[in-house]
Structure 1
Amino acid sequence: MNTDRKKQLEKFIGVLGLPSFHNLLILDQALTHSSYANENKAKHGYYNERLEFLGDAILDLVVGEYLFLQYPHMPEGELSKARASVVSEAPLAAVCAKFGMGEYILLGKGESASGGRMRASILADAFEAVVGALYIDSSYQEAQKFILHQLKDYLALVASGDYGKDYKTLFQEFVQRDGEQHISYRLCREEGPDHDKTFYMQVVVNGLVLGEGSGKSKKGAEQHAAHEALKQLHAL
């Protein structure tokens, strides 16, 4: 690992308020996308998909444990729904965007040029991989502390009862609280091959674009756009 990358990773640790990593290589792996590894096989043979797999399992456990203890009378079906809402792609990507995770991810040239640093799926996967790296490098307790702190706003939605609603519903209720408004979702563009497309959607209110999001489906991109608009309106 060169000096510049080491400094970048140390800066990232500070931005997130993480404890110092004993092994920076595992954090580097968590922030390496497969597109970069494929382009640099000779000098960079690892990427974050295995850590993402581990981090996904840890996220489910930490958030599930929190909800189980915090809401002792909530039935299993509601617990599952609440957990799914907290650990879904849009919240994870929004948290990453807040502290600029995209600028620390190693991406292939094509992926970077096509806006990969702000792509919800890439950011959410990187968040999971960082959780996995933190668990391996430190402990379950440190990973748990990190997850609960970063997702505290979304865990709070469970207490308010809003977790059962999707972001499109929340957005519609927010903008129409003072009367009927015309809300529409507009496809901006599509990127990638047919089997792995990314869709970009805008949410438009009375002709004004209030948010843009991406996703692997049009519905997912609409959800992300609504979520971004709610953040811009300080409704989350």
Structure 2
Amino acid sequence: MLLALMTDLHANREAVSACLAHAQQQNVSRYVFLGDLIGYGADPGWVLQTVMDHVTQGSWAIMGNHDIAVLQEDRQNMNPVARQVVEWTRDQLNTDQLDFIRKLPYRIEWQDLLFVHANAWAPDKWEYIDGVMEAMRSMHATRAAITFCGHVHLPTLYHMTLTGKTGEFLPTPENSIPLSKQRRWLVIPGSAGQPRDGNPAACYATFDTETQDLTYFRVPYDHEAAAKKILDAGLPAALASRLLTGN
């Protein structure tokens, strides 16, 4: 089975549309949306409904911190920009979409794979995997051979040997990487909706459960149109600028 791993969609219709179209060309069998479906972008309703439609067809979706934020009434601990976006986003969603968010799981385990948004040791606490130490902690927290997660908007691959030695690898797009069963792996596909590595092209990855091959992709999209929508919606200009620069 060929899985498409997409995370941190962040209500970016143009990026999500481009990634879905690209994945369809790869003959993907199932989509896995690793959280933060909404937040930052100007099309939360469309993106969330698109994910909902895919879930009804057998795909999976995970809870992210931006997703759960729209359900929380107390937002005093948020910075003003984040609070503005969350409040605006909630007003764009209907009752069915809010109910869908409420039912999102924090983790899904399937065969020897684990899907989470932030990490394996505390999926609902939203701590980041910023380097090798955090990746090691996450891999030690699960029996799964391969963990797929988001939250960090940079495409990265971590691996751990049977003796516990852990390393970091920066993947090259479109180069297939065989994930040896002699190691544990932690896969961060990078953000589909808000890349932060200096490249505005959307990120996602595919994984073949039969061959164990992992492939990262960068998909160009109309980021200028997505940025203009953010400005037109009255959302913070910094969010539009981020799409233009990829930072």
TM-score (normalised: structure 1): 0.26
Compare the two structures and name the one with the higher helix fraction: 1
**Structure of higher RCO (CA pairs closer than 8 Å, 6+ residues apart):** 2
Larger radius of gyration: 1
